[in-house]
Chain A
Amino acid sequence: MPDHPTGSDTLPLSLTVNGEARQLRVAPWTTLLDLLREDLGLIGTKKGCDHGQCGSCTVLLDGKRANACLVLAVVKEGSNVTTIEGLAGPGGALHPMQAAFVEHDAFQCGYCTPGQICSAVALVEEGRARTPDEIREHMSGNICRCGAYPNIVAAIEQVLAENAR
């Protein structure tokens, strides 16, 4: 259940979300995930388990992937958050990873997909995974109930190959 605290319960919080500086007030028990979804209306980031076990809430926090469900928003004062809504280019051009997911049909129901894509973008940025085995290991924090794994790996391989060119 979302919390709608009032007045004295809340603390000020400055965050940059998808490039936009936001001055907010949050209750200390608000997770970053609930803040994004309930207060900012950024419902692309999904809540699966709410306990760090599935990766569907993965966002980029100061450039690094994190499970938004286990982050208390107030702790991240001054941070920079990128969600799936912030990946596309200015004119709405898909991020290369988004385009590769579409091209490889790397999803079925799509529920895990925003988390998978954010995680995959970070994987490429980290530069530690090259082989399919390494991609699987470095994507192990994102569960796909539909089992789209082979196509997810193919999409990531394609982006890695494009970048290597």
Chain B
Amino acid sequence: MNRFSYVRATDVAQAAREAGAPAAKIIAGGTNLVDLMKYDVERPGRLVDITRLPGLRAIEDAADGGLRIGALVTNTEVAYDRRVEARYPLLSSTILAGATPQLRNSATTGGNLLQRTRCYYFYDVGTPCNKREPGTGCPAIPGVNRIHAVLGASEHCIATHPSDMCVAMAALEAVVRVSGPGGERAIPFAEFHRLPGDAPERDTNLGRGEVVTAVELPARGFPAHYTYLKLRDRHSYAFALVSVAVGMEMDGGRIGEARFALGGVAHKPWRDPEAEAMLRGQAASRDLFERAAERTLRGAKGYGHNTFKIELARRAIVRALEQAAAGTPQSQVDKRIR
């Protein structure tokens, strides 16, 4: 690890001011940042500890029937919160599908959003990488790319965002609250993370010196018809190769509101509004789900090792939509896929 100075911020304004300095980095749970610092991928000159900031540790009911989750609430606290379990079981399910009990105890809501979009070349400072050192190239495209993106990638970067939690937040249309030099603002979830384009070094649209203070969940939580199906190389403690979060409302056999987001396939949680629109007002059927899956993957592109993800994603979408429509969500304990 490189040498750095350290400051314990006592209020959000101070944290934002400190975090705005060129070499400064915010630390929350540290599970992503410290890991990257040990590989010299992140070399901050100063760490701004936000763990003592007041007012960021609560989960509160919002006036519109939604829920406001403070940025420092841990992944464990969110997953087992009674209101989240009852009203947003999809969010609990995605969190419990990720990492381990130890990591979830340390990981915070804000840190999970802002963990780096990454790949194994990004971790290896002995190789070039456009995300780590802009302009040096992307060795994954001609190289080993089994875990990489099949949707929304660019010639500059094909990395995937590794979060499970964020896949649910995309489907739930959460709003990210931030505070920074320009005051406070709200960023719709779909606009929070970025596609790589020609600036893969930027994972999100958060500005310099901006601090995430909370994530707000709208009232609609899909408690009856949801699922999170995560496919990976081993049943636990592994990142998704492909994952699908679904939230649906059903009226008899007919679909009302329908959302689904994919993880493990793109630089950000992937949603396709057209594919979702195909589902609304229709009777749930395998045929319909297959057509929606085809639509979602129409622009998919494989790079060799990861080409299998396209067919895997197609099947995962169909299975997840079936699980949600039937009201039989994927268990994150008994991993059998039914």
Within 8 Å by CB of B8, from A9, A77, A122, A131, lies: A77
Is A70 touching B30 in the complex (CB atoms < 8 A)?
yes
The answer to whether the Cβ of A72 comes within 8 Å of any Cβ in the partner chain is: yes
Contact status B31-A52, CB under 8 Å = yes
Contact: B100 with A141, CB < 8 Å?
yes
Complex-state Cα separation, A50 to B1, whole angstroms: 12
- A98: Cβ under 8 A from any B Cβ: no
Interface string of B102-122 (1 = CB under 8 A from A): 110110000000000000000
Q: What are the interface flags for B89-109 relative to A under an 8 Å C-beta threshold, 1 for contact and 0 otherwise?
A: 000000000011111011000
B296 at interface, CB cutoff 8 A? no
Who on chain B is nearest to A57 by CB? B102
Instruction: Collect the chain B residues with CB atoms within 8 Å of residue A77's CB.
Output: 8
- Who on chain B is nearest to A29 by CB? B1
Closest chain A residue, CB of each to CB of B74: A64
Return the contact of B34 from the options A71, A133, A140, A141 (Cβ within 8 A): A71
A123 at the interface (CB under 8 A from B): yes
Interface size class, chain A = 35 or more
Contact with A along B44-68 (1 / 0, CB 8 A): 0001010100000000000000000
B237 close to A (CB within 8 Å): yes
Please tell me if the beta carbons of A75 and B51 are within 8 angstroms of each other in the complex: yes
Tell me, yes or no, whether B3 is within 8 Å of chain A by CB. yes
Contact present for B236 and A137 (CB under 8 Å): yes
**Segment 55-88 of A: residues with Cβ below 8 Å from B:** 55, 58, 61, 64-67, 70-72, 74-75, 77
Q: Does chain A have a CB within 8 A of B38?
A: yes
A51-B35, A75-B27, A77-B8 known; A28 and B47 CB under 8 Å? Answer: yes
Q: Any chain B CB within 8 A of the CB of A119?
A: yes
| A141-B3 in contact (CB<8A) | no
CB-nearest residue of chain B to A137: B333
In the assembled complex, B4 has its CB within 8 A of some CB on chain A: yes
Interface size on B, residues (CB 8 A): 32
What's the Cα separation between A122 and B99 when bound, in Å? 17
Residue among A28, A126, A128, A134 having the largest count of chain B Cβ atoms under 10 Å: A28
Task: Mark A32-59 against chain B: 1 for CB-CB distance below 8 A, else 0.
Answer: 0000000000000000001111010010
Q: Which residues of A contact B8 (CB under 8 A)?
A: 77
Given contacts A70-B30, A134-B333, contact A58 B102 (CB under 8 A): yes
Q: Does B287 lie at the interface of the complex (its beta carbon under 8 Å from any beta carbon of A)?
A: no
Known A51-B35, A66-B105, A70-B31: A133·B333 in contact at CB below 8 Å: yes
Most buried by A among B8, B51, B103: B103
Q: In this assembly, does B6 line the interface, its C-beta being within 8 Å of a C-beta of chain A? A: yes
Give chain A nearest CB distance to B211 CB in angstroms.
16
Say whether B332 faces chain A, with CB atoms less than 8 Å apart.
Answer: yes
* B5 A28 Cβ-Cβ under 8 A: yes
Asked if A71 and B47 sit within 8 Å, CB to CB, the answer is no
* Cα–Cα, bound, A26→B5 (Å): 12
Asked if A138 CB lies within 8 Å of chain B CBs, one says yes
The answer, yes or no, to whether A113 is at the interface (CB within 8 Å) is: no
In the complex, which residues of chain B have a beta carbon less than 8 angstroms from the beta carbon of A24? none
B80 CB to nearest chain A CB (Å): 8
Q: Is B274 positioned at the interface, with any CB of A under 8 Å from its CB?
A: no
Residue from B47, B105, B334 whose CB has the most chain A CB atoms within 10 Å? B105
| Shortest Cβ gap from B2 to chain A (Å) | 8
- Which B residues form the contact surface with A (CB < 8 A)? 1-6, 8, 27, 30-31, 34-35, 37-38, 47, 49, 51, 76, 80, 99-103, 105-106, 235-237, 332-334
Sample 14 A-B pairs with CB under 8 A, ordered by A number. Answer: A11-B6, A28-B47, A29-B1, A31-B34, A52-B31, A64-B105, A66-B106, A67-B102, A70-B103, A72-B34, A74-B49, A122-B101, A138-B101, A140-B235
A27-B3, A123-B101, A140-B236 are known; give 17 further A-B pairs, CB within 8 A. Answer: A29-B1, A29-B4, A51-B38, A52-B35, A53-B237, A61-B105, A65-B102, A65-B105, A67-B103, A70-B34, A71-B34, A72-B47, A126-B101, A131-B333, A136-B236, A140-B100, A140-B237
